[in-house]
Amino acid sequence: MKVYAFIPSRMGSERFPGKPLTKILGKPMIQHVYERAKEVDLFEEVFVATDSPEIRDVVRSFGGEAILTKGQHPSGTDRIQEASSALGLLQEDLIINIQGDQPVFEPSSLKVMIETFLKDPGLHITTLMYPIRDMEMVMDPNVVKVVVDKEGFALYFSRAPIPYRRGEEVVVSFQKHLGFYGYMKAFLDIFSALPQGRLERIEKLEQLRALENGYKILVLPSPSDSLEVDLPSDIQRVEAFLLRREM
């Protein structure tokens, strides 16, 4: 088994067009994500999977590897499936999907996912969660929430606050879903062949396709949170985080 990282990236974001090439402290966001991924010493290689020749050229300009895919894909996972197949990855290879809007994630979080798969390669999908302590984030539809069963497998993901708290006296722990996925190439092919699910289309969350078709997603506690860039206003927040870390 070899382990590869793929970063799906496209220019046509509805909320933030051109987001991957937006500068963060003078460097395109996709470069921040790529360089963070390269810090994980368990990866055989890191690839950007993109429909944009412009993104491909920028990635190659800073020494990265980029694969050009077709334009229309229902999700980043489907884009990765095309790219990984073009590269000839083996069915037993492990793929880690790193969202292209996570420029400051902690590499140690990905190691948790990889090590879990090395222990149990029969898993379908793994992903990460982190506790939410800010009620504003709980109500934010850009922050995806997850609830899990007693063994840590996902019951549901939603942009809505889940679980719903009926009564102020009930203590609820909300969990933020971090946008990273791990799967074997064999399962990636199965997933991509499935039709888009009804809930997936409603929530615009690709992981619901797996749940709707009876596949399990193991949600692992992450040792750290990961700031995401959903809107232009998030850039300043990420830059402030990076500057604090450099102090």
Cα 182 from Cα 130, distance rounded (Å): 17
Please report the pLDDT score of residue 1 as a whole number: 86
- Structural domain boundaries in the chain: 3-246
Could you give the percent of the chain with pLDDT greater than 90? 80
pLDDT per residue over 152-197, tens digit each? 999 999 999 999 887 777 788 999 999 999 999 999 999 999 999 9
Which of 47-51, 61-65, 164-168 has the least mean pLDDT? 164-168
- Note the pLDDT of residue 15: 73
In this prediction, residue 202 carries a pLDDT of: 96
Mean pLDDT score of the chain: 93
Q: 3-246 sits in which CATH class?
A: alpha beta
**Model confidence pLDDT, tens digit, residues 209-224:** 999 999 999 999 999 9
Residue 235 has pLDDT above 70, yes or no: yes
DSSP for the chain reads: --EEEEEEE-S--SSSTTGGG-EETTEEHHHHHHHHHHT-TT-SEEEEEES-HHHHHHHHHTT-EEEE--S--SSHHHHHHHHHHHTT--TT-EEEEE-TT-TT--HHHHHHHHHHHHH-TT-SEEEEEEEE--HHHHH-TTS-EEEE-TTSBEEEEESS-SS---STTS---EEEEEEEEEEEHHHHHHHHHSPPPHHHHHHT-THHHHHHTT--EEEEEPSS------STTHHHHHHHHHHHHH-
**pLDDT tens digits, residue range 5-42?**
999 998 877 778 889 999 999 999 999 999 999 999 99
Confidence of residue 102 (pLDDT cuts 50, 70, 90): very high
